[in-house]
Amino acid sequence: MKGVRLPAVRCAALLMAGILTESMLPLRGAVAWAALIVTAGVLSAASLSAWVRRFRRHYAQTVLYLLSIVLAGFSLSLLHSMGARLEDDRMRWVDWVRGETVTVSGRVDRVQQREDDRVIWMRVDSMRVRTESDASWLAMRTGGRFVMDATQPVWGEGTSVVAGVRLERIRDNRNPGLFDYGAWMRSNGWRLVGEMLHVESVTPVGKGVESIREGIRGTLMEQYSMKTAPFVVAFLLGDRTLLSSDVRQSFSRAGLSHIMAVSGLHVGFVLAPVWFLMQRLGAGAVHRTAGFALLLSVMAGYAVLTGMSQSVLRATFMAVLFGAARLFHLPSTPLNILCASAFTMLSVRPSDLLEPGFQLSYAAVFLLLTWMPALTDRIENHVRVPLFRWLLTMLSVTLIVQIGMAPLLAGWFGEVSWIAPVSNLVTVPLLSLLMTYSISLLGIAQVMVVPEWIVLPAEYAYRWILWVPEM
């Protein structure tokens, strides 16, 4: 890296320093507003210094610019925290009806199937609280996590539901130092928890993205057997509704749970064939523009179809930045592009820095960018057999990611799966092929009935992957 300029690395590090500083200083009320005013003054001074001739190319201007980035992170995080506290105050009245039965109306965001019950995640838009004198609807925009009987019909994402629920209090973290599930729910807008007692009305999914997802899910259920279809739906769409708790636990113990949650791995699988096509479009400006349009449309479409989760958005944004830099020959390094992505995402959602998903996804890519180039060169220089070279490269990737992220995994979740390198080595390469093959079968199914013998290879491959965690 000697001699290479990495402005985005410095900017991202300084922005993170500002966010971490705010997270350690519980500023409230007048003190918070005073901090924002001071920050605004420094940022204004940094902007004006560019117009003062004697400050140009002066060390004082550099210091002022660096300080302004730290304070920008500080102020963004502070504004986000103040907004969260305002939301807490706005929802404080809900504490008065804890333990009571209320009626909520909203749309299903996702469904989590468990052994004895089912968890419904809803985007609630209104609530009706019955009192002695009134039973009117109260408008609100928040999220709810409700447990219901597993015998009820399975609802698709986007289904409108009106149901009676008994509200409960979000549990506080009883294990200091481990993942605070309650804080995660509040920071992501899930502020209602309870038990769904009865359903008043259900409106099926209408037209739009939800209906497309339902159509894809129905096609996958028809193409594959009852044993593999739930896993295929989870792998392609991130919809784990039909997965049993036993399957989820076995994949978690084997370090393969990331396969069933759409993330950077899946975006990489989708990007690979797209990148293959882009490289064959030509080197002209028109061809590069067409390639970038193809990349952007495919990545955006996949993000929308899989639910626009934060992990998918992060991976999609990184893929678009990397693709644009390669296509248009921009003078930048992969590490600089990674930090530019982190800087942008944290500018929009500064609280992501303190969440495990953000830390794990960026840590994995950072480890690969810093360690794999040197290892790849050594492998290519010393290993002559292509098969052994490929196996050693894949093993190196899994070992670097698992060993490098072990402290983060242990800190957040209190456990590390040491069998993960082996299980990932025998499943991830096959899944990269299955992603392309399964999507191709979906496309064929839109115009004709797919013969069973064409689906059969994928069926047996998915069965083998389901067998790996049970070994």
According to DSSP, the residues that pair with 163 across neighbouring strands are: 104, 199
Residue-level pLDDT at 3: 46
Mean pLDDT confidence for 329-353: 86
Distance of alpha carbon 124 from alpha carbon 111, whole angstroms = 15
For 186-241, the DSSP string reads HHTTEEEEEEEEEEEEEE---SSHHHHHHHHHHHHHHHS-TTTHHHHHHHHH---T
Mean pLDDT confidence for 351-363: 86
Which of 79-88, 213-222, 354-363 has the weakest average pLDDT? 79-88
Percent of the chain with pLDDT over 90: 4
Residue-level pLDDT at 456: 92
Residue, of 129 and 216, whose pLDDT is higher: 216
pTM of the model: 0.78
Which of 1-15, 132-146, 199-213 has the weakest average pLDDT? 132-146
Distance of alpha carbon 222 from alpha carbon 194, whole angstroms = 34
Q: How far apart are the first and last CA of the chain?
A: 43
Work out whether strand 137-149 and strand 190-203 pair parallel, antiparallel, or are unpaired. parallel
Calculate the alpha carbon distances from 349 to 16, 33, 146 in Å: 12, 20, 26
- Encoded tokens for 129: 């609280």
Read off the pLDDT of residues 47-88 as tens digits, 9 standing for 90 and up. Answer: 666 555 555 555 666 777 787 888 888 888 888 887 877 777
Cβ atoms within 10 Å of 297's Cβ, excluding its own: 11
Q: Give me the chain's average pLDDT, please.
A: 80
Q: Is 448 exposed, middle or buried (0-12, 13-18, 19+ CB in 10 A)?
A: exposed
* Listed ranges 142-156, 272-286, 311-325, 341-355; the one with the highest mean pLDDT: 341-355
Which of 169-173, 185-189, 237-241 has the weakest average pLDDT? 169-173
Read off the pLDDT of residues 276-310 as tens digits, 9 standing for 90 and up. Answer: 777 777 667 777 788 888 888 888 888 888 877 77
Cβ atoms within 10 Å of 56's Cβ, excluding its own: 10
Mean pLDDT confidence for 124-138: 67
Residue-level pLDDT at 8: 83
Residue, of 268 and 454, whose pLDDT is higher: 454
- Encoded tokens for 159: 């289904």
Q: Is the pLDDT score of 414 beyond 50? A: yes
Mean pLDDT confidence for 253-266: 78
Q: Is the pLDDT score of 97 beyond 60? A: yes
Strand, helix or coil at 113? strand
